[in-house]
Chains A and B, each alone.
Chain A
Amino acid sequence: MRVALFVPCYVDQLRPQIGLATLDFLTAAGFEVDFQEEVICCGQPFLTAGETKRAAALGARFVDAFQHVDAIVTPSGSCAATLRRHLESLVAAPAAASVAAKTFELCEFITKESACPPLSRPFPHRVGLHASCHGLRELGLGTPTETRAATRIDPARELLSRIPELEITSLDRRDECCGFGGTFSVEEAAVSTRMGLDRLEDHGRGGAEIVTSTDVSCLLHLEGLSRRRTLPFEIFHIAEILAASALGHDLRASAEPR
Chain B
Amino acid sequence: MGHVDRAREFVRDESRTKWHDESLWFVRAKRDDAADTVPDWEALRDEAATIKRDALSRLPDLWRQFETAATEAGAVVHWARDAEEHNQIVLDLLEERGFRRVVKSKSMLTEECGLNPFLEARGIEIIDTDLGERIVQLRNEPPSHIVMPAIHLKRSEVGKLFEKEMGAPVGLDDPDALTALARKDLRKRFIAAEAGITGVNFAVAETGSFVVVTNEGNADLGTALPSLHIACVGLEKIIPAPSDLAPFLRLLARSATGQPISAYTSHFRGPREAEDIGSPAPAMHIVIVDNGRSDLLAQPSFRDALACIRCGACLNTCPVYRRSGGHSYGTTIPGPIGSVLEPSRDPKAHAELPHACTLCGSCTNVCPVRVPLHHQLLTWRAHLAEGGHHPTRRRVAFGLAGRLFAHPRAYEILTKAGRRVARRLPTAWLDRLTSPWTEARTLPPIPARSFREQMRARARQATKGPR
Tell me the A residues contacting B by CB distance below 8 Å.
7, 9, 11-17, 19-20, 23, 35, 37-38, 40-41, 45-52, 54, 57-58, 61, 133-134, 137-138, 144-149, 173, 175-177, 179-195, 198, 220-221, 223-225, 227-228, 255-258
Contact = CB atoms under 8 A, between A and B. Distances in A.
Contacts of A37: 408, 452, 455
Nearest to B397: A49
A258 B445 contact: yes
Contacts of A50: 380-386, 390
Given A12-B450, A16-B451, A52-B382, A40 B324 contact: no
Contacts of A23: 455
Given A49-B385, A184-B358, A188-B355, A224 B447 contact: no
Contacts of A180: 358
Interface in B23-51: 25, 32, 35-36, 38, 41-42
A44 B359 CA distance: 12
Given A9-B405, A16-B450, A20-B454, A133 B437 contact: no
Contact of B355 (A15, A45, A61, A187): A187
A52 B405 CA distance: 15
B394 A49 contact: yes
19 contacts: A9-B405, A15-B444, A35-B455, A37-B455, A45-B398, A46-B401, A50-B382, A146-B365, A148-B38, A177-B358, A183-B355, A184-B355, A186-B436, A188-B355, A191-B323, A192-B358, A195-B319, A224-B442, A256-B447
Contacts of A176: 319
B50 to A, nearest CB: 17
Given A16-B449, A40-B405, A133-B361, A189 B436 contact: yes
A181 B359 contact: yes
Nearest to B9: A190
B1 interface: no
B2 to A, nearest CB: 10
Given A137-B362, A189-B440, A184 B357 contact: yes
B17 interface: yes
A97 to B, nearest CB: 18
Nearest to B416: A13
A153 to B, nearest CB: 18
A243 B451 CA distance: 16
B440 A51 contact: no
A194 B17 contact: yes
B164 interface: no
Main secondary structure of the interface of B (DSSP, over half): helix
B118 interface: no
Given A138-B361, A190-B4, 16 more contacts: A49-B385, A49-B398, A58-B406, A133-B361, A146-B317, A146-B366, A148-B35, A148-B38, A177-B358, A177-B362, A179-B358, A188-B7, A188-B320, A191-B324, A227-B441, A255-B444
Contacts of A58: 402, 405-406
Given A133-B361, A138-B361, A181-B357, A41 B405 contact: yes
A148 B447 CA distance: 44
B64 interface: no
Given A19-B451, A40-B405, A188 B444 contact: no
A51 B395 contact: yes
A8 B355 CA distance: 23
Contacts of B355: 183-184, 187-188
B442 A38 contact: no
Nearest to A184: B358
B320 A198 contact: no
Nearest to A201: B18
B449 A256 contact: yes
Contacts of B4: 187-188, 190
B207 to A, nearest CB: 32
5 nearest A-B pairs in the assembled complex, by CB-CB distance: A224-B441, A181-B358, A50-B381, A50-B385, A146-B365
